[in-house]
Amino acid sequence: MKQKEFIATVLPFKDKLYRLAKRILVSGDEAEDAIQEVYLKLWKGRNKIGNYRNPEAFAVTMTKNYCLDRLKSKQASNLKIVHNNFQTSENVEKKIEANDGVQLVFKIMETLPEQQRIVLQLRDVEQFEFSEIAKMLDSNETAVRVNLSRARKTVREQLIKKHNYGIS
């Protein structure tokens, strides 16, 4: 596979992978590093990419595994996750500025367990079908739905709590 062809195949979902990596690793810088690594791996195995029916799903799985590994090795070496660059993208920043509640939602999402964060990201942000997510996570649809429901309910609880106390 030539470089041009490779880029045409894998570049369209670069941002998706980045958002997933950032959802897991929290830091934007680390997410950028992670997808760089993932793309290097994809590039090394580029001749096999053609054999996969769905390169995007394959890349998502790879990104998820890589980021979880990073997280594990980080926790093992007792490093704290830095998220000084919570908002990197300007357009997102503008949207968030207009709404304190949205900022809160992002904060709540950070507190979810990794698996729930991943499912929420893939379903509610990237809008993949349950069957696709199940394949990406090497799981089944029921498990995905359960995880997703838990994630959504946690966000709801936190939102209601804040709503009742009054955030503004």
Partner 1 sequence: MELAKIEKLLDAYFEGNTTLAEEAMLRDYFAQDEIAPQVAMYQPLFVGLVAAKEEVSDRELKLPKNQFKIKNWWYAAAASVVLAIGVAGFVFSEPKLTQEEQEALAAFEKTKEAMQFMSKNFNKGAEELTYISTFTETKNKILK
Answer whether 126's CB lies under 8 Å from 151's CB: no
For helices 3-10 and 55-76, the axis angle rounded to 10 degrees is 80
Q: Specify the residue, 81 or 160, whose C-beta has the smaller distance to partner 1.
A: 160
For partner 1, the binding residues in 76-135 under the rule CB under 8 A are 88-89, 91-92, 95-96, 99-102, 104-106, 121, 124-127, 129
Q: Report in angstroms how near the CB of residue 154 gets to partner 1 at its nearest.
A: 10
Sign of CA dihedral 60, 62, 64, 66: negative
Distance CA 16, CA 11 (A): 10
**Can residue 57 be called a binding residue for partner 1 (CB under 8 A)?**
no
**Can residue 14 be called a binding residue for partner 1 (CB under 8 A)?**
yes
Distance of CA 31 to the CA centre of its chain: 9
H/E stretch holding 117 reads: helix 114-120
Which residue is associated with the tokens 């790879």? 62
Q: Report in angstroms how near the CB of residue 50 gets to partner 1 at its nearest.
A: 17
Binding region for partner 1 (CB under 8 A) out of 51-59, 77-85, 110-118, 157-165: 157-165
**Can residue 20 be called a binding residue for partner 1 (CB under 8 A)?**
no
Answer whether 17's CB lies under 8 Å from 38's CB: yes
The residues binding partner 1 (CB under 8 A) are: 2-3, 6-7, 11, 14-15, 17-19, 22, 31-32, 35-36, 39-40, 43, 88-89, 91-92, 95-96, 99-102, 104-106, 121, 124-127, 129, 145-146, 148-149, 152-153, 155-156, 159-160, 163
